[in-house]
Chains A and B, each alone.
Chain A
Amino acid sequence: MSDARRPPRLLMKTLMVTFVTVALLLAVVFVVVTVSVRNQVRQTVASNLESTQRLFAAVETRRQRELRAQAETLADNATLKAALDTYQTETRADHATGRADLLATIDQVLEKVAARVDSDAIVLVDSRQATLAAAGRMADRWPRSRPVSLVASKAPDSFDGVARMGDSVFRVVTVPLLLDDATIGTLYVATSLNQEYAQELDRLAGNRIAIVGDGLVLATTLTPRASRQFESAVAVEHQVDGTVALDGESYAFRRLVTVGDTVFYALGSIDESSQAAMRDAMRNLAFVGVFGIGLAAIGSLWLARLLSEPIGALSNSLAAMAASQNVSARLPVTGSSRELDTLTETFNALMASVGEAQAQTQSAYTGAIRALASALDARDPYTAGHSDRVSVLSVAICRQLNLPPADVEVVRLGALLHDIGKIGIPDDVLRKPGALTAGEFDIIKQHPVIGARMLRSVAFLAPHIPIVELHHERPDGQGYPRGLRGDEIPLDARIVHVADAYDAMTSARAYRSARLPAEAIRELWRCAGTHFHADIVAALANSLPGVVSDATHAELEPV
Chain B
Amino acid sequence: MRRGLLYVSALGLSVAALGAGQLPETGRVIGRVRLTSKVPGKPLPSTAYPRRTVGDHDAPSLPEIRNVVVYIKDAMYRGALPAMRADLRQEHETFIPHTVAITRGSSVDFPNGDPFFHNVFSLSRAANFNLGRYERGQSRAREFTKAGTIKVYCDIHSHMSATILVFDHPYFTIPELDGSFELPAVPAGQYTIVGWHERVGERLERVRVEAGKAASIELTVPVPVDGGAP
Contacts and interface: CB of A to CB of B under 8 A. Distances in A.
A515 interface: no
Nearest to A87: B123
Interface stretch (A114-122, A172-180, A195-203, A423-431): A172-180
Nearest to A92: B201
Nearest to B126: A90
A65 B94 contact: no
Nearest to A70: B48
A188 B125 CA distance: 28
Interface in B135-167: 149, 151, 153-161, 163
Contact of B151 (A66, A82, A174): A82
Interface stretch (B7-15, B39-47, B76-84, B184-192): B39-47
A90 B122 CA distance: 13
B90 to A, nearest CB: 13
Of the candidates A68, A76, A182, the one having the most CB atoms from chain B within 10 angstroms of its own CB is A182
B178 interface: no
Interface in A54-70: 64-66, 68-69
Nearest to A102: B123
Contacts of A186: 44
A332 to B, nearest CB: 99
Given A99-B125, A159-B45, A176-B46, A90 B160 contact: no
A82 B46 contact: no
A183 B226 contact: yes
Nearest to A175: B48
Nearest to A156: B45
A315 interface: no
Contact of B149 (A65, A93, A105): A93
Contacts of B48: 64-66, 68-69, 72, 159
A78 B151 contact: no
Contacts of A83: 123
Contacts of B201: 92-93
Interface in B27-74: 43-49
B151 A178 contact: no
A178 B44 contact: no
A76 B154 CA distance: 12
B206 interface: no
Contacts of B151: 82, 85-86, 89
A182 B123 contact: no
Contacts of A238: none
A82 B123 contact: yes
Contact of B153 (A78, A90, A157): A78
Contact of A81 (B153, B156, B226): B153
A555 B206 CA distance: 197
A176 B51 CA distance: 13
A93 B202 contact: yes
Nearest to B151: A86
Given A99-B125, A105-B123, A182-B226, A76 B199 contact: no
A78 B44 contact: no
Contact of B123 (A64, A86, A179): A86
B45 A157 contact: yes
Contacts of A79: 155
Nearest to B200: A92
10 closest residue pairs by CB, A with B: A68-B48, A78-B158, A82-B153, A69-B48, A92-B201, A86-B123, A65-B48, A78-B155, A86-B151, A179-B161
Interface of B: 43-49, 94, 98, 121-125, 149, 151, 153-161, 163, 198-199, 201-202, 224, 226
6 contacts: A81-B153, A81-B161, A82-B161, A85-B153, A86-B151, A186-B44
Interface of A: 64-66, 68-69, 72, 76-83, 85-86, 89-90, 92-93, 99, 102, 105, 127, 152, 157, 159, 174, 176, 178-183, 186
